[in-house]
Amino acid sequence: MLRAWLQSRFQSETDFDDILQESYLRVLRAHADGQLQSPKAFLFAIARNLTLDRLRHRQVARTEPLVQDEQWDVLFDDVDVAETVARNQELELLTEAIQSLPDRCRQVFTLRKVYGMSQPDIAKKLGISAHTVSAQLTIGVHKCTGFMARYRREN
């Protein structure tokens, strides 16, 4: 199901095996830590972000290295690791913020932001009005923003 979802969203990407494996690994790690409340939403968010990272990297990556010196490779690896760690921490924080939302709000927010469903489709699926979907999305965005702002002030 995840592979089909990724293929429908990212037609330019042809090989999803690494993305799927890394996504499953991160879900297992989060589950082992006991912090995972919505594993499916978390899995899809991770897979989407990994695919976007891969596509961004391809757009920026040079075809030829600037320097053919082995010591430079170490420096570039450190930068990628630091960026990856920072991105993973941001994703974990966002996941925690989403999990802190009230049930209906989290459900609407996840369907819209993670699965990319339209507001009318969400309203139909959940049996609520389009206005309620819009209101729940607004609440979700404000609460997630507040959650992340509080976290940054504390840390």
Give CA angle at 101 (96, 102), nearest 5°: 145
pLDDT for 16-33, tens place per residue? 888 888 888 888 888 888
Q: What are the structural domain ranges in the chain?
A: 1-61+76-99, 102-155
Residue for token digits 């961004």? 56
CB 64 within 8 A of CB 55: no
Residue 72 is predicted with a pLDDT of 47
Nearest to 76 by CA among 85, 63, 89, 67: 67
pTM for the whole thing?
0.47
pLDDT for 96-110, tens place per residue? 888 889 999 999 988
Architecture of domain 102-155: Orthogonal Bundle (1.10)
Structure tokens at 57: 């990297």
